[in-house]
Structure 1
Amino acid sequence: MRQLGLFFILATLVFSCSPPQKAAPENGGDLYVSPASQSDERAAKLLPMHGSEDVRHLLTYTPRAQPAEALDSAKQYFANEQFDWILRLQPAHLVTRQQLITCFDRQWQEQHGEPQLYGRSARDGRWTYAVAGGADTVFSALALGWKLYNSRTESPRPFALAELDGFRQATVARATQLPARLTQLNYQPAQAAARSQQLGQFVVANDQQAFIRLKAATDFKGRAIWNAMLSLGLHWGDMDLFHWDNPATDAGGGDYLFDVYTTTEPGYFLPERIAANEVSTADLVFAFSIPRSAAPAQVLASMYRAAGYCQQKLGGQLVDAAGQPFNLA
């Protein structure tokens, strides 16, 4: 039962439903930030989008059946009262989606901890993401929600009291543009800061990784890596890494069942450099978070087969996190 509890808390912290943010271009360096469709187009202009053989059968995943859910039209989408910090606003009159996202624009969100915007539909009273496609566009109530510990960010850390108090003050000041007033907080700033610290400590203590490293005898070349990954059916995209996509996110887990990266700088794979024959890596690392996986034994077995296939094609040795020969048992 304790393991189930750990899984639920970690899964809720990391994989609570959230619509993708609209990507903005990155300035400087080689890192690209773009929607998945744009990433596919970018790669397809440079490299094959299918491997030289089809070995997708090596990766098998059968999630447990889940009870049928209500139709999307009957769902509410709102922040998690236990794991998010929620500020509710009451506008003086109905507010349109455009008014809301103009008031709390992208720049403001980036400067104030990246809150999610929610609106309660004036038509049916249900809460929804303010920027979700197809959602109602006129709201009778508003809310902002911050994940108290977001381990999907590049450098996750708990929020400090001063930060949260600053977010509260900034929200109150900004809301006067609508106009709207703050009516409720699920945690006072001091409580939220303490909760953020607690959640951060919990994730660090319990987020164990399944890890297989394919260590090269001679550096792996980028095009050979690309071909092996696509032959397995892995998808290149988010964070410029390779991923085994989760076909059943509703059954648990996140968007990806496992990821593949390298410890060779910069740690990710740019198709532009692969196409230019500029990529050589000392290893490939296959990994996933055990508590966040709905079926870790299945995923580990498939990940092992994927790493074994790459070993056959690229050479090298399979080792564990300690550098010892990997043993699936």
Structure 2
Amino acid sequence: MNRMTIYIILGIFALSVIAYFVFRQKPKSELENYLISSQSQSNDRIKNLNLDKPSENASYTLDTNKLSFPDIIRETENMEYKADNEREWVINLTSTESVSFKKSDFDKMFDYDWRSKFHSTIYGFSPEENRWTYADAGDSPEVFSKLQVAVDIQDVFNEETPDYNRQKLKRYIDELEKRIKKYPIKLKIEQSETIESAITKAKKLVQLNQEFNLDAIIVLQADNHFKGIKMWDVLQSVGLKWGDGDLFHWGNDKNYGHDQNFSVWTTTEPGYFFPEEIKHGNMNPQNLIFGFSIPRCADPKNVYAIMLNSVKYCQKRLGGQVLDRNMKPLDEEKSKQELSAFLTRMEHKGLISGSDKALRMF
């Protein structure tokens, strides 16, 4: 066998090996069996598994009549939407020629590259409607007399230990100066406040977030583990709905506060509940974590009381111990007093749980 023949054989062998690794069938991920679905699809999913009918009806535990909500301002068609100077650094764009801003023009300036690298909200004043609104919304007016770029400074400095580097804000000005050169009319950039002033404001917001970004937590800990199929039935019996994030929720249908009054998850991997795994007996959690974000909650005191009653119902049927966030036996009165004191501290800092301001901050 000559040398050329050997090279040809080796080449064919090498190509065969490469083809095997490239074209061989890849093993399927376990997650490929699960789909992101709508609520109706989720309902069909648990119905097909015969997991949709609880054995008891204890939904009276989740009594919405015990909740208190403030008077809610209903949104109207001509409601104004404008920058929030308490949490946003505002950059004004004005025309030096007193010419209006056309949506078709500034949409090109605030393109995908801007939106992906310079997170901000674009507001515009419509002289026709005599109000501020979202300038780049699909149904917004086509012409504005003023534009504002609003930067959420809490979001800019959202690291656990922010360095408050002024360049994080200055980069917005630098980029805008480049972009306005290509705009059809001559524009002027004006900052509503200095970068140093905005950073001072950011420090206060970050401090508030770190101080009050807290969940109310109650743990139902199993002696060993809860049988998954029974756990599923008990959570449904108390009136909770399985859905978003593959967790159980008590939903909030009021136009105030977070979408969920409280939710239930677990520290047992993966942390949430696949109905297929429950049905097949593969998910038997060691605990159930009942909780909600205190600053985002519409009515923390009453939601906590109802959540505690829900935990007690589950304990009655499943067994286990009721623990606090530190995995110590829950002192009910102490936990309620601590929650009340926490809410008082929030109010003293100008924060009302469930308010729009709180929802934006937390």
Q: Give yes or no for the alignment of 1:167 onto 2:172.
A: yes
Which structure shows the bigger proportion of residues in strand conformation?
1
The CA distance in 2 between the partners of 1:139 and 1:129, in whole Å, is 11
- CA shift, 1:100, in A, is 4.8
Equivalent of 1:267, from 264, 268, 271?
271
Equivalent of 1:141, from 135, 139, 146?
146
1:127 is aligned to 132
SS at match of 1:143: strand
1:60 is aligned to 63
Unaligned runs of 5+ residues in structure 2 are: 1-28, 334-362
1:94 is aligned to 101
SS at match of 1:166: helix
Matches within 5 A, 1:20-35: none
How many residues matched?
292
Equivalent of 1:183, from 179, 183, 189?
189
Equivalent of 1:320, from 309, 318, 324?
324
- CA shift, 1:284, in A, is 1.7
The CA distance in 2 between the partners of 1:281 and 1:46, in whole Å, is 21
Which structure shows the bigger proportion of residues in helix conformation?
2
- CA shift, 1:57, in A, is 1.9
Q: Cα 1:76–1:304, aligned 2, differ >3 Å: closer, same or farther?
A: same
SS at match of 1:173: helix
The CA distance in 2 between the partners of 1:212 and 1:236, in whole Å, is 19
Higher relative contact order (CA 8 A, sep 6+): 1
Note the alpha carbon deviations across 1:42-65, whole angstroms, 9 max, x for none: 423422384514433211343244
The 8 Å contact of residues 86 and 143 in structure 1, kept in 2 or not, is answered as yes
- CA shift, 1:298, in A, is 0.5
* Aligned-partner residue type, residue 91 of structure 2: L
The CA distance in 1 between the partners of 2:111 and 2:281, in whole Å, is 41
Matches within 5 A, 1:1-329: 38-48=37-47, 50-52=52-54, 53-61=56-64, 62-66=67-71, 69=73, 72-90=76-94, 93-96=100-103, 100-101=106-107, 103-106=109-112, 108-112=114-118, 114-130=119-135, 132=137, 134-150=139-155, 160-176=165-181, 178-179=183-184, 181=187, 183-220=189-226, 223-250=229-256, 253-270=257-274, 274=278, 278-329=282-333
- CA shift, 1:106, in A, is 4.8
Note the alpha carbon deviations across 1:20-79, whole angstroms, 9 max, x for none: xxxxxxxx9969997xxx54144234223845144332113432441x647612421123
TM-score by length of 2: 0.66
Unaligned runs of 5+ residues in structure 1 are: 1-27
